Amino acid sequence: MARKKQEETSTRKVTVNAQIEGAGIVVDQPITQTIEQNYMPYAMSVIISRALPEIDGFKPSHRKILYTMYKMGLLTGPKTKSANIVGQTMRLNPHGDQAIYETMVRLSRGCEALLHPYIDSKGNFGKAYSRDMAYAASRYTEAKLDPICGEFFREIDKDTVDFVPNYDNTMKEPVLLPATFPSILVNSNVGIAVSMASNICPFNLKELCETTIGLLKNPDYVLEDTLLGPDFPGGGYLVHDAAALKQIFETGRGSVKVRGKYQYDKSLNCIEITQIPPTTTIEAIMDKIVDLIKQGKLREVADMRDETDLSGLKITLDLKRGVDPDKLMQKLFRLTPLQDNFACNFNILIAGQPRVMGVREILTEWIAFRMECVRRRVYFDLAKQKEKLHLLKGLQKIILDIDKAIRIVRETQEESEVVMNLMIGFGIDETQAEYVAEIKLRHLNREYILKRTEEVENLEQSIAQMEEILNSPKKIKGIIISELKDVIKKYAKPRQTQFVFSEDLEDLDGEEETPSYPVHLFLTRDGYFKKITPQSLRMSGEQKIKETDEILWHHETMSDIELLFFTDQQQVYKTRANEFEDTKASLLGDYIPAKLGFDENEKVLGMVLTKDYTGNLLFFFENGKVAKVPLSAYETKTKRKKLSGAYSDKSPLIAIFECKGLEEDEKQEFVLTSTAKRKLLFHAGMIPLKTTRNTQGVQVMTLKKNQLAEKAEPYLEGMFKNPHRYQVKTLPALGALLREEDLGEQLTL
C-alpha cells in the first residue's frame, strides 16, 4: 500500500515537472537582454503612466480622482466622505487606497499645497508647510470638487478628448481633461520617474492667462510683459533675478531664490515669521535654528515657539536686548532654509514623449491642444444641430397635411409598417419618419408643429456659423481668448509671492557680523579654555580646574577677538572667541584639543589674541635662541583653521609672547632664565624681525654644555633690586647668576 502511494506521488511530480518546462534550470542571460525585457517596460510605465504630468496639467492619478468625483456628482452636489471617493477611484486606479488618499490630500484646499486647489475639503487635510501636521483618516474628512474644476468638465461629454477603457474594461476614462486654461503652469507639479524628473513651479492665474492671450494674438509676444515670475501658494518673497527668470522661460530649467516673510513686534521684541519657502517646512527651519544655537553661531535668539494655529503659519523668535531684527533675519536667510532655491525642470509628456520645454513652448503646445478641443467640441455641436435640423425638416413636410399623417397611421394594419408608409406618403427618410411617428397625440396640432419648425431658420444660421469656425483658426483662437477672459474674471487671485530685488540685498552674502561684548578668557596648562562674562565672573570668582592643572593665562578682551592656539607639534589652530559658548567659573570649560580637532597627543603651548594681525610674536627656544615673526605671517585670505610650520622645530619651544610694534619693542623687556640659574634681561627691539614662520631665530643666551633655557617671562618693574646686573646691551650674552637679595623680591606672573 505504501509502495503504491509512493509511486502515485512520484508520478504526480513527474507530471508537474512536465507541465512547467525548464523549471529550476538557471540560464545565463546577457545583462542587456535582461534590462530590455525586464527593466525597460517598468521604466517606460513609470515615465508615461505615473510620474510625469501631461499638457492638461495632470498626472494619471490626479486625473482619475477628479474624473471619479465628477461622475459621482461632486461638482455641484454636497460633500461626501473621502473614503467614498477613494473607494470609487479604485475602479480606475488599481493602487492601494492610501496612495489614492495621499494624492487627493495634496489636491485639497485644506493642505494648501496648490495655488488653486481642485478639491474643496472639510476636516483635517494636514499642511504642506508642516512635516508633523498629519492629515486625518479618509473616514473622518469630506470633500467635493472645487468650482474651478468646472473648467475641466464643462465640455468633456462633447467628444473633446479621447476615452480609453479602464484596467478591467468595465468603464471608460478620459486620456486628458479639456482644460479651458493652461493649468499645467498654474499649479506646481513634482514627479520623479526613471532617469528623469519633473518640477514645475506655479504661476499666477491672471498673469498666465493674459500671457496666453498675448501669444494667441502674437506668436512673438514678450512673455515678461505680463508673466512676472512664479507665484507660490505659501507666499514669501521671490528674489528677482532677470537672467534666471529668462533662462526658465526659454529653457524650462533653472532656479529661483525664495525667502520667508516676517514682521517685527517692537512692543514684545520678537520676530514673527508668517510665510516660508515652498521647499521647506516649519520643523526643518526650527531644527536648523536649534542647531545653530547649540553650535554657538546664533546668540541673538532668546526663545523660539511654533504658534501656528487656525489663522495660519507663525514661528515666533524672542530676541535678546539690543539685537537688530533685520540683521538677524539676514543671518537666518543665509544659514537656514528660510531662504531656499526652487529648482525648475519643466519636463512634460507631449503625445507620450517626455520633453523639457520653456514657458513659451509649453503655452504653444497648450494652445494647439486647446484648439483641437474647441474644434472637436464645435464639430460635435455641429453634428447634433445638423441631426436636429434634418428631423425638423421632416416635421415641416408633415405640417402640409397633418390629417394625411393621421390617416396613414390609422389605416396601417401592422405597426412595423407605420414608418415605411410615412416615408412613402411624405417623401421623407427613415430617421425623419421615425421621429414623426414618435410624436405624442397631444402634439399633433398645428401650433406645436409651427413652433418647432420656426427653429429651422435659427439652426441653419447656427450651423453656418459653426462651419465658418471650423474653417477659421482665427475664430477658434477668438473662442479660446473669450474663455480665458472668463476664467480670469471668475478665478483670478492677487499675487501671493511678492518680489524683492537682488540689488537691494548686496550685504546678504557678506561676512556675518558677530556680537562684541567684554569677556574674560582663561587657558589652563592642560588645555582647558573658558570664556566668562564680567557679570558671571563677579557672581562666582572661584575657578574650577582639575587638581593637577593650573591657570597659565588670563586676559580681559572683547568677544569678537581672534585666537591662535600654538601646539607642541609646530602647528597653530585659528578660531574666534565667539565660537565658544559663554561659561561659568564653576565649570571646567572647553577642552581645546577636542574642540579644535587636534592631532593625536597634541598639546597647547600658548595662546595669542589678535584683531587685525598687527605686531610681532617672540618665540623662546630651549637652545637659547629667540625668533621674532610678524603676526601677519599667520593671516590667510581664506578662513583656514589650521596652519603647519608655525615655528621652528629645531629646538623645543618654552614660551610665546606678543609685542605690538617697533615703538613698544624698545620699551618691552623680557627675562630669560637658564637651568644654571642665570638670568638675562634684554629689550625685544634687539631681536631682528624674520619674515618666515619657521625661522630658527637668533642666539640670545649663551649656554654652556648640558645647559638649557628653561623659562621666559616679561620683565615687570620691581622684579629685581638691581636690574642693570642682568641687563645686556649686546647679544648673545651669558647672563648673570641670581643674587640672594633678588630671590625674595622676584615677582612672578
Query: 3-state DSSP helix/strand/coil percent for the chain, to nearest 5?
Result: 40, 25, 40
C-alpha cell at 182: 493652461
Distance CA 108, CA 124 (A): 10
Residue 499's nearest CA partner among 264, 248, 252, 228 is: 228
Tally DSSP H helices, then E strands, for the chain. 21, 33
Write out 498-534 in H/E/C secondary structure: EEEEHHHHHHHHCCCCCCCCEEEEEEECCCEEEEECH
> Quick one: 710 exposed, middle or buried, by C-beta within 10 A (0-12, 13-18, 19+)?
middle
Catalytic residue among 140, 528, 573, 634: 140
Whether 491 is catalytic? no
Q: What is the DSSP letter of 95?
A: S
Neighbours of 530 (CB within 10 A): 26
Residue 346's nearest CA partner among 257, 248, 278 is: 248
Three-state secondary structure call for residue 345: strand
Are 599 and 628 in contact by the 8 Å Cβ rule? The answer is no
- Report how far apart, in Å, the C-alpha atoms of 650 and of each of 92, 656, 666 are: 82, 16, 28
Rounded to 5 degrees, φ, ψ at 736 are -120, 150
Residue 343's nearest CA partner among 198, 179, 192 is: 198
Query: What are 251's strand-pairing partners?
Result: none
Neighbours of 666 (CB within 10 A): 12
Distance CA 209, CA 298 (A): 45
Three-state secondary structure call for residue 328: helix
Distance CA 581, CA 604 (A): 20
**DSSP secondary structure of 171-209:** SEEESS---SS-GGGTS-EEEE-SS-EEEE--B-HHHHH
Rounded to 5 degrees, φ, ψ at 653 are -85, 135
Q: How far is CA 185 from the centre of its chain?
A: 18
Residue 131's nearest CA partner among 311, 337, 298, 303 is: 337
Neighbours of 517 (CB within 10 A): 13
Residue 126's nearest CA partner among 107, 139, 144, 145 is: 107
C-alpha cell at 670: 623680557
Q: Which amino acid type is present at position 33?
A: Q
Q: Which long-range contacts (CB under 8 A, 24 or more apart) does 237-246 make?
A: 237/261, 237/497, 237/498, 237/499, 237/500, 238/497, 238/498, 238/499, 238/500, 239/339, 239/500, 239/501, 239/502, 239/505, 240/499, 240/500, 240/501, 240/502, 241/502
Whether the bond between 494 and the residue before it is cis, its omega within 30 degrees of 0, is no
Distance CA 188, CA 53 (A): 10
Query: Which strands form 528-532's sheet, in the order they lie side by side?
Result: 551-558, 518-524, 528-532, 590-591
Distance CA 146, CA 144 (A): 6
Looking at the annotation, which residues are catalytic? Answer: 140
